[in-house]
Amino acid sequence: MKIIMLGAPGAGKGTQAKMISDKYNIPHISTGDIFRANIKEGTELGKKAKTYMDAGALVPDELVVDLVVDRVAKDDCANGYVLDGFPRTIPQAKALDEALAKNGVKIDFAIDVEVPDENIINRMSGRRACVECGATYHIKYAPTKVENVCDRCGNELILRDDDKPETVKKRLDVYHEQTQPLIDYYNEAGILAEVDGTKDMMDVFGDITELLK
């Protein structure tokens, strides 16, 4: 089962991808996690990705396509995977389809988690991240036991630059311009499925599992 998660930044597609991964025992492949790991390690890819992410822009195709294609070719992806954060553009989608076709495989589902922009801005501006261990929280939906202190390691929490309202708005503008066409692309391919992302997290997951039956 090869699945692509679609949806604007902050729509909750990453959370749903992890739940799908756990339920169906397939890898959750997040380009965001790959970028953050590279940024923390100070690699060249990380430095390049950080300049785009801090500005609320999308990371260019050439920095991600080969990385993702190589990842999905690994043994743990034999029974499928959930792609979260890729593809973001039509060229990326086409590059992925072409690479998979060479191995005689294709994407089974593209699941679009639909959430209005206003909801997303409110959600993301409430996020907090630990500067040390990377754990993430939300001041309303997943607060820490002590305000601004990480439950896991006790270090300070911050509002990341890419979660600030002005940056989120930029990211949403970029999303609608560059990524929204993917919905049409996968709809035409006959593999698009849409779910209402404003529902409770478990209700959204229930809707997704119904689609995957």
- Residues identified as active-site: 13, 88, 127, 160, 171
List, in sequence order, every beta strand (DSSP E) within 9-168. Answer: 28-30, 81-84, 109-114, 127-130, 136-138, 157-158
Q: Helices 13-24 & 201-212, crossing angle to 10 degrees?
A: 50
Name the maximum alpha-carbon separation found in the chain: 52
Structure tokens at 155: 């270090």
Find tokens 């560059």 and name the residue. 178
Strand 127-130, strand 136-138: pairing = antiparallel
Quickly tell me which residue has 């996968």 as its tokens: 186
